Amino acid sequence: MSESVGKYLDRDKQIQVLRLLSEGNSIRSTMRLTGIEKKTITRIVVRFGNQCRDYLDFALSNLNLDHIQIDEIWTFVQMKEARAKRRNLDSSVRGDQYLFTALDTDTKLLVTFAIGKRTLATTDLFIADLEKRLYRSPEVTGEQRIQLSTDGFHPYVSSIRNHFRGTARHGILIKNYVNPEVGRYAAPALVDADRYNVNGISDLTTICTSHVERNNLTIRTFMKRFTRLALGFSKKVENLAAATAIHVAVYNFCRIHSTIRCTPAMAAGVIDRLWSMGDLYDAVTGHAAQVVAKRRRDARIDRLIRKLQGE
């Protein structure tokens, strides 16, 4: 079969490509290792990444978690923000892009993510998606409510207030550094940290973003698109989103976390055993096939109803 279109590659070849990419290889290095064309690998990333996002929406829902840490990590698409503005290009799909992540403190589960500009609009979409994934009993009040820890990015306050409506506690951690301007590619020396209660947190020492910030290192290690001072940056926002969905799925389902000695999805009770890349591939593509079949079935029923109604 032809390898010019990703969907015609056999299952084992596609899994090999996804495994290499998930371990931090670039598309070009994966091309050299497998002999598969660059365009074919890109198509595999986009198609499987979009399917991963749908599967994550399906699998990571109704989660019973205690403490979610939230952060953003910077990257860029096609070119840096300043260059896009100098050339009067549409910077909404170029330039600076931020990956918003929500990580559970105990299970290390990456609950959800969003990609976009570091704006109120992106933050609002991200927090709305997070709210839909979490189980919160109406009987649970006070200190028993889920806790959200964020940095000092102001839009978090209004977004969490509007979407959670008092069903979650919220605290802010602001870290102060010595000469922060020198820490562009390495963190400068930390002086102290200020903690603020926004809603319902009596013990300020529980406010923490260290785990989600540590996860930023994992992202930059295993996703070539986030590696600083390298050539693996994304050329399209759609490709960045698809590659991120693959990373989140592999991280949650296939990679054992050293601090909990199982995968985050196992710790959160989403799955009951360690998944291989093949298991993830089968689950994601199987779910995608079910979604397509349901859409076709619904379309046939809709056409039949319109025909019976004489339309």
Say what the pLDDT of residue 311 is: 63
**CATH number of the structural domain 61-241:** 3.30.420
Say what the pLDDT of residue 10 is: 92
Say what the pLDDT of residue 134 is: 96
Please give the Cα distance from 34 to 141 (Å, whole number): 54
Helical (H) or strand (E) element with 154: none
Judged on CB neighbours under 10 Å (0-12, 13-18, 19+), 72 is buried
Please give the Cα distance from 74 to 152 (Å, whole number): 16
SS3 (DSSP) at 308: helix
Helical (H) or strand (E) element with 18: helix 11-22
| Cα 250 → chain centroid | 11
Q: Which of 83, 103, 104, 109 is nearest to 94 (CA)?
A: 83
Residues carrying CATH 3.30.420, the chain: 61-241
Say what the pLDDT of residue 180 is: 61
pLDDT in tens, the chain (311 residues): 344 444 568 999 999 999 999 999 999 999 999 999 999 999 999 999 999 999 999 999 999 999 999 999 999 999 998 898 899 888 888 999 999 999 999 999 999 999 999 999 999 999 999 999 999 888 888 888 999 999 999 999 999 999 999 999 999 999 888 876 655 666 678 888 999 999 999 999 999 999 999 999 999 999 999 998 888 899 999 999 999 999 999 999 999 999 999 999 999 999 999 999 999 999 999 999 999 999 999 899 988 888 888 76
SS3 (DSSP) at 135: coil
Say what the pLDDT of residue 93 is: 87
Q: Residue 25: CB partners within 8 Å, gap ≥ 6?
A: 33, 224
